[in-house]
Amino acid sequence: MFTGQTVEVRRLALNMDQIVEFNPPPNPAKLTDTRASAYIMEFGPDSWELDALEPTVIDGLIRKAVIELRDEGRWEEAEHEEQRGQALLGKCAAQWGDIAADLGDTP
């Protein structure tokens, strides 16, 4: 709606394979939730929360998904451009006194 384009949403976590792999601590299903009966019939009485996973695990899931989607050539070009910009800023910083004097901006 806000982008004016089709947006694909991919679920990265938390799924049953990840629950088996990472073994986060279970919580009882919330019986006050109107969806609880259907959930319990499909998955049992336990539920799990994403934030029970280690932050490094969540980070890894996100990184993997992003790397699978990104254009490596464009990514490397952007990294090189960033490095060139950092080098230029470093040169400017090293010579800032001379630059400021040339601009007439000395105290």
pLDDT average, residue stretch 3-23: 91
DSSP annotation string for 33-102:
STTHHHHHHHH-SEE--GGGS-HHHHHHHHHHHHHHHS-HHHHHHHHHHHHHHHHHHHHHHHTHHHHHHH
Confidence check: pLDDT of 107 > 90: no
Per residue in 39-58, pLDDT tens? 999 989 999 999 999 999 99
Integer angstrom CA distances of residue 11 from 15, 24, 53, 74, 92: 9, 18, 16, 25, 45
- Supply the pTM of this predicted model: 0.64
Determine the pLDDT at residue 99.
87
> Which residue ranges make up each domain of the chain?
16-102
Per residue in 49-103, pLDDT tens? 999 999 999 999 999 999 999 999 999 999 999 999 999 999 999 999 888 888 8
